[in-house]
Amino acid sequence: MTSSATSFPDPWPAPRALHPLDAVVEVPGSKSLSNRYLVLAALGTRPVTLKGLLRSRDTELMMAALKRLGAGCESLNDDGTTVCVTPPVHGAFHGNVTVNCGLAGTVMRFVPCLALFADGPVRFDGDEQAYARPMQPVLDGLEQLGARIEYYGERGFLPFTITPPLRGGEDSVGSAGDNGSHAAHIAIDSSASSQFISGLLLVASRLPHGCELVHTGEKLPSMPHIRMTMEDVNRAGGHIEMPQPGHWIVGPAELALPPEVVVEPDLSNAAPFLGAAMIAGGLVSVPRWPKKTAQPGGLLPALLQRMGASVSWDGKPWPAGSLVDSDSNGSNSTGFSDDAPAAATLCVIGTGVIHGLGQYDLSAAGEIAPSIAALCVLADAPTALVGIGHLRGHETNRLQALVTEIERIGGTARELADGIEITPVAKNQLQGTVIQTYADHRMATFAAMLGLVIDGIDIVNIATTRKTLPDFTGMWMGMLQAKG
């Protein structure tokens, strides 16, 4: 079933689940992987064909940005999920252009790093909401590499222009302060977002002598996303080591992804659908769930199992009480045997209970916090999700937004210094109302989850889900209407 989110009224009446679910949900490609592969392909030395690429607002913004900088992005099939990326001639990106970042964190924090290798200044702008998203750490890093930043508003935020160290060449890039003969040294505080580190790691191999990158803050959110970046760069021929947490050494290298790369499904985007099985009861299956993955969403099966779901992969029970481990390459491993398939169907069955988590550190997968929060509203005990203070700097202040909307429906929640505490109330105390989404796709899916069991939930701007799920409403209705 396909339908456009824009064809629905605003606010959109969230549908109730009228019976237990029995659905197979095909989740589109990972946004995080799609945009990393697009950047690495543009940094490479040969054309790369990406298969299973997510087509959503964030990836459209990334491809438009790369085209502005001189790379080619050509769709090879009808739905646009197979794309050939061609690097710019001689690896030099175009300057004297403006890049629209929209509200895409990966665009506003990854693409400015490409401006180091442009042949002229590059201006960056975006949506009004993007002006509130922090940018200072990655821009500090670029200044340490010799770039100049001109701001048109508040320092450390969009809009701004980046002038590379030397127009028309990269020989001087990264030479500031190192006499041009040693690895560049970059020190930034990436406490607000792992994307600052990832943006610099993606381009560091192109520096003449590589670089040493140091995180100066006390906490570093979403290490799985950084491990994902490391794995992707190394797959492209780079060499990144992390001798200790918060310290990376990147050797100079010519990057080239394999000629063909397949993008995994977006496991974090599977969270609302898998969570729906726990809320409504029944079964939701997601095909092509990888045995090993660098995605933070790889933590979902063990987490949902801990909350009371019955979980299986490739027809086998998920290892009881297990947490996903990280292997030496930074990938999350399910713990299944080496001879198990590379990917198989993940099944989640609602058992009629949703357990609270007590205090739970979700720093490794903060992006799934809204979906987990929806489950916690309906759980049998309180939950304090901690390690996610950085969510205040996402598309909106997600912690504040979650507390506001949970209280709006009659629930109880409060912000913590580093997270959110949710105390369940009786379901008959929860009431339907209009839920705001704050131009945040994950707040929209959070509201849809609650709408499965609360009458009268209306969601403002459901179309914001196009950021990472171009047809969320069609997928959601399809899940509810499926009959096995």
Query: Confidence class of residue 245 from pLDDT cuts 50, 70 and 90?
Result: very high
The tens digit of pLDDT for each residue in 54-97 reads 999 999 999 999 999 999 999 999 999 999 999 999 999 999 99
> How many residues does this entry show for the chain?
484
Q: Which residues contact 326 (CB under 8 A, 6 or more apart)?
A: 224, 227, 332, 333
Say how many C-beta atoms besides its own lie within 10 A of residue 110's C-beta. Answer: 27
- pLDDT value at position 328? 36
pLDDT for 160-203, tens place per residue?
999 999 644 444 566 554 445 689 999 999 999 999 999 999 99
CA 44 to chain CA centroid, Å, is: 23
Query: Average pLDDT of the chain?
Result: 92
Who's near 231: CB < 8 A, 6+ residues apart? 294, 329, 330, 331
Backbone torsions φ then ψ of 4, nearest 5 degrees: -90, 140
SS3 207: coil
| Ramachandran quadrant class, 373 (left: phi over 0; alpha: psi -120 to 50; beta: rest) | alpha
The pLDDT-based confidence of 324 (bands split at 50, 70, 90) is very low
Query: Which sequence positions are flagged as catalytic?
Result: 367
Task: Tell me the pLDDT tens digit for each residue of 197-219.
Answer: 999 999 999 999 999 999 999 98
* Lowest pLDDT segment from 4-13, 30-39, 226-235: 4-13
Distance CA 351, CA 348 (A): 9
Query: What does residue 290 show for φ and ψ, rounded to 5 degrees?
Result: -75, 150
User: Is the pTM here over 0.85, yes or no?
Assistant: yes
